[in-house]
Chain A
Amino acid sequence: MKLIRAIIRPDKLSDVMKALYQAEVQGITVYHGQGHGGETSAVATYRGTTVKMELTEKVILDIGVSDTFKEPVIQAILNSARTGDVGDGKIFVIPVEEVHRIRTGERDKAAVTPVTEAARSIYNSNPATHRMER
């Protein structure tokens, strides 16, 4: 298994999410951060204080996948997050020792494969327990 960590522009998040869903990636974690990737720093002025903003807003995606899913995920992100300007971001592929799905206790490859239709229908029949499983 691999953990794919992508650092992208915030305004590209919608495009990337769409591309990932089209590649049938089902599990994703998103968080916001700040970083510097060699892009030109914006200059801002607040009253008399002029500053160079060395850090820009970034969005970080963590996606746990089985090895067969690695390439489709990378291609999906590469194609959807690219603008061609400095600051488009990075993708890191990190080896993963173990994965456990908390709900079922499934582990490793079974835990990173998409949720089965049978399991999904259980959630849909009881919206109170429904959560972001995609």
Chain B
Amino acid sequence: MELSIGRRQLAGPALAAAKRLWIPAILLLVFAEGAGAQEAAISAADTSWMLISTALVLLMTPALAFFYGGLVNTKNMLNTMMMSFVALGVIGVLWALVGYSLAFAPGSGFVGSTANALLRGVGSEPNGTIPHMLFMAYQATFAIITAALISGALIGRMRFGAYVVFIALWGLLVYSPIAHWVWQSGGWLFTRGALDFAGGTVVHVNAGAAALVAAMVLGGRAEYGKRAFLPHNVPFVLLGAGLLWFGWFGFNGGSALASNEIAALAFTNTLLAPTATLLVWALLDHLRTGKITAVGGATGIVVGLVAITPAAGFISPMSALLLGGIAAFPSYFAIQWRSRTRLDDSLDVFAAHGVGGATGALLTGVFASAVANPITGMDGLLRGNPGIMIVQATAVLASFAYSGAMTFILLKLIGLVMPLRGSARDEGVGMDILNHGEEAYLHGDGAVLLLDEEINGSR
């Protein structure tokens, strides 16, 4: 039998000792992990599920591009999608070079080290029961989508070059440390017993805080508040939400790091929680406007997925239904409130991911159940462990504060070196032409082929 806390596998006797002596199991982690490492071997079943999960999570970034792209107008479509796609390149490369090491190599309580930089020591040896390099690859997909999530607050005005520099620095200086705090066995939130199964704080609160601050620093689109910005392709929004859900089975199911009953629990909860959020969201829509909207349905699905993320492997399926239903309320009203303010968090990253992630992280503390997850054996508020709520709130507030503050500093610094945004005229033309010299929906009429010598003259 193994004990799995967060993302580390522990040997069975440690669990028994912890329960008998009422010692928080987490304190036994250090020596228990040492004992486990000697027995560890690669499991074919675990490895196959993690290979699939890694591919599933990678798909979430293109899915996000469609979700976000459908929500913007035609002249910003490619730019919005590219803000997600470029994260595959920028964060992917940096993750292999040093990001993984800063997050998961042994270091201090706040950040890893350069021990695994350039993937030194990241080979086919077991990490838990899967090859170390597979663990690295799986985690890379999380780093990529977290950076891409922020882009929803920046669309329609940010210069692409400044965005690329921003997510590169943000990935290294914000994502990697917070992942280390929560998921690495030496991280300060990990050692306090914070429960974050698949990234409620590390991914969603983190990206939500960055989005909120970035939207403030950048300022709104020139016409924000004066005219309506409407989705140009609602079918793409639904397609994106559907593909995100599909990928999320790898995001949550894979976070068990094994093909076992906890993976099945996380998988089931990832199915159930968003179903409840979708229904409650539709009900709120109906009560407020008399109509059930498609964009609302897609948003409800994503909020449900965000909220179940920290809880997926810790709560029972019926609790997941309840969590999903409850999670609709804060995000729904946060969106209503935000759209009446001057805050141009264009695609409501803060309301969906910041608020949804915080709600999920706190409800994880409420619903956690040793019956649902006997391997971790963590009980929550409803099962007589109120102390967990303080730990969960600490994790949310710490991630929020660090991510928000660092985002502010990074954007101010980048702003000193290069312009963060285009002019009002650039916004009128659209970010696709300004940043990419391409259009999403091209007629091709009136396009004159340029020969080599003309190209040099026209630039």
Contact = CB atoms under 8 A, between A and B. Distances in A.
B433 A49 contact: no
Contacts of A54: 446-448
Interface stretch (B237-245, B360-368, B373-381, B435-443): B435-443
Interface residues of B, number: 25
A34 B437 contact: no
Given A14-B227, A52-B458, A53-B447, A46 B438 contact: yes
B444 to A, nearest CB: 9
A130 B443 CA distance: 34
B417 interface: no
Given A9-B428, A43-B458, A51 B448 contact: yes
Given A11-B428, A83-B425, A85-B425, A44 B445 contact: no
B452 to A, nearest CB: 9
Interface string A84-95: 010000000000
Contacts of B430: 11
Contact of B450 (A36, A51, A55): A51
Nearest to A14: B227
Contacts of A49: 449
Interface residues of A, number: 22
Given A11-B428, A51-B449, A83-B428, A42 B443 contact: no
A116 interface: no
B429 interface: yes
Contacts of A50: 449-450, 455
A85 B423 CA distance: 13
Contacts of B446: 34, 36, 53-55
B433 A42 contact: yes
Interface string B331-351: 000000000000000000000
Given A12-B428, A43-B455, A54-B446, 7 more contacts: A15-B227, A34-B443, A44-B433, A44-B438, A52-B447, A55-B447, A83-B425
